Amino acid sequence: MALTGLDIFKQLPKTNCKDCGSPTCLAFAMAMANGKASLDMCPHATEAAKETLGAATAPPVRTVKVGVGEQEIVMGDETVLFRHDKTFYHPTALAIQISDTLSGAELDAKIAKVNALVMDRVGQKIAIDMVAITNCSGNAATFKAAVEAVAAKANFALMLVADAAGLEAAVPAVAAKKPLLHAATAENWEKVVELAKANNCPVVVKGNGLDDTAALVEKVAAQYKELVIDFGNQSQAKTLAEMVNARRLAIKKKFRPFGYPMLACTQATCAREEIVEATTYVAKYASIVCMKADEQALLLPLMAWRMNIYTDPQKPMAVDAKVYEIGDVTPDSPVYICTNFALTYFAVEGEVVGSKIPGYIVAVDTDGASVLTAWAAGKFVAEPIAEFVEKMGIMSKVNHKNIVIPGYVAIISGKLKEKSGLDVIVGPQEAAGIPAFAKANYPHLMK
């Protein structure tokens, strides 16, 4: 929501002097809300008014970056409360804790384990983004050594979790990596923020609940704005409510103290519960989730969840345009042609599985458009289909020359035969007709 007339009116001197060219301050406020006037036209506006109105035009959630180069994480700059209203932009960073009580071989093994948490999912790389070195030893020198060891080997952005003394010892050595400092609290914020500022690092402001954190952020933001908010994590339900309220206030009410990315640490002690807790935070506005779990099997569903939540709902979901083998295919198996729109592909896949007759599905690249949409746009017609089938080399895997096309595009069958030199069979109009179609045509292939 842009600035409203009332917001602006409250900041005006209310002289109705007409020096701005508008008949009243009210009219001028409305002109400004409409973008037809600017505050500098009012010669009597106070500095405070200029500051307030300037801040209100800033984005609701500030962009804050951690790490450098390949490891850089961009956080914040979100604009909606629900992904269906637009999209969520910057996926939640997952941070794994490493205690400084580990050393030598133990520490190396832990770093190696975290570094290995990189996986492929539907053709995209998903990974952990951050390691959080925690000062469990309570000793500043031990912490510094652990931080340096991790920084030398870990492939991820760093978060340093310690008190002021620990941070002062460790930060200068790794400042070039732009680590995130955790945390500035009511007791130590002057020191920690001074350190963050001097080393150009973002810093977590950790309060205790909404009111307390807002007050602390206001104090800190007067001096430094590269901030991430932590509400103190007392319980999952409380943290969830705090993050929802904070994001709502930032976006809907332009409440500046909450206009920053947020961090949540998992509280659950059991690793499986920790993952469930983390999924809640990923879905509800956390920019960083800091956790102890480091098992690939546990983190994979969490990363998949993050990937799904942060996909752009405005773009059609597509599967990889390629040939899929359904069941134990043989050279006799039928070849079905469809588009790479996820809904289309999965409808066809489900029915081919249901037919109990193994088959190949060729998901033609239609930029994620459905059969009729792609046909209407000229992406699912004879020429591109023939080219794609040729490129995939699928016909060299089978001992027949038949391809099955969706019944709704029967009209392209003649031309497709001509272009591809294959025998084009017009299949059912709906994928639901595939089992009956397959049983009628390939009874000998029934499994």
Task: Catalog residues that contact other proteins under the rule CB under 8 A.
Answer: 1-2, 4-7, 9, 23-24, 26-27, 29-30, 33-34, 252-253
Task: Label the pairing between strands 73-75 and 64-66.
Answer: antiparallel
Element containing residue 114 per DSSP (H, E): helix 104-115
316: Cβ contacts below 8 Å, ≥ 6 apart: 341, 342, 367, 368, 369
What's the CA gap between 397 and 332, in Å, rounded? 9
Give the residue ranges of DSSP H helices in 138-266: 140-153, 164-174, 189-199, 209-221, 236-252
Residue with tokens 């539907």: 122
Separation of first and last alpha carbons in the chain: 59
Beta bridge partners of 94: 289
Quick one: 4 or 373, whose CB is closer to other proteins? 4
Quick one: 26 or 372, whose CB is closer to other proteins? 26
What's the CA gap between 260 and 304, in Å, rounded? 25
Quick one: 253 or 272, whose CB is closer to other proteins? 253
Element containing residue 124 per DSSP (H, E): strand 124-127
Quick one: 9 or 345, whose CB is closer to other proteins? 9
Residue with tokens 């870990």: 154
Quick one: 29 or 431, whose CB is closer to other proteins? 29
Token pair of 95, please? 């941070």
Minimal distance, residue 252 CB to other proteins, in Å: 7
Calculate the alpha carbon distances from 360 to 50, 118, 336, 438 in Å.
Answer: 65, 30, 6, 12
Q: Estimate the crossing angle of helix 140-153 against helix 164-174, to 10 degrees.
A: 30
Quick one: 8 or 374, whose CB is closer to other proteins? 8
Judge residue 257's burial from the number of C-beta atoms within 10 Å of its C-beta, 0-12 exposed, 13-18 middle, 19 or more buried.
buried
Token pair of 185, please? 């609290």
Minimal distance, residue 83 CB to other proteins, in Å: 16
Residue with tokens 């990189």: 118
Dihedral sign computed on CA atoms, order 186, 190, 192, 193 = positive
CB contact at 8 A, 45 and 15: no
Quick one: 26 or 342, whose CB is closer to other proteins? 26
Minimal distance, residue 81 CB to other proteins, in Å: 15
Minimal distance, residue 1 CB to other proteins, in Å: 5
Minimal distance, residue 314 CB to other proteins, in Å: 14
Minimal distance, residue 36 CB to other proteins, in Å: 10
Quick one: 224 or 255, whose CB is closer to other proteins? 255
Minimal distance, residue 5 CB to other proteins, in Å: 4
Minimal distance, residue 26 CB to other proteins, in Å: 5
Minimal distance, residue 7 CB to other proteins, in Å: 7
Quick one: 56 or 165, whose CB is closer to other proteins? 56
What's the CA gap between 158 and 126, in Å, rounded? 18
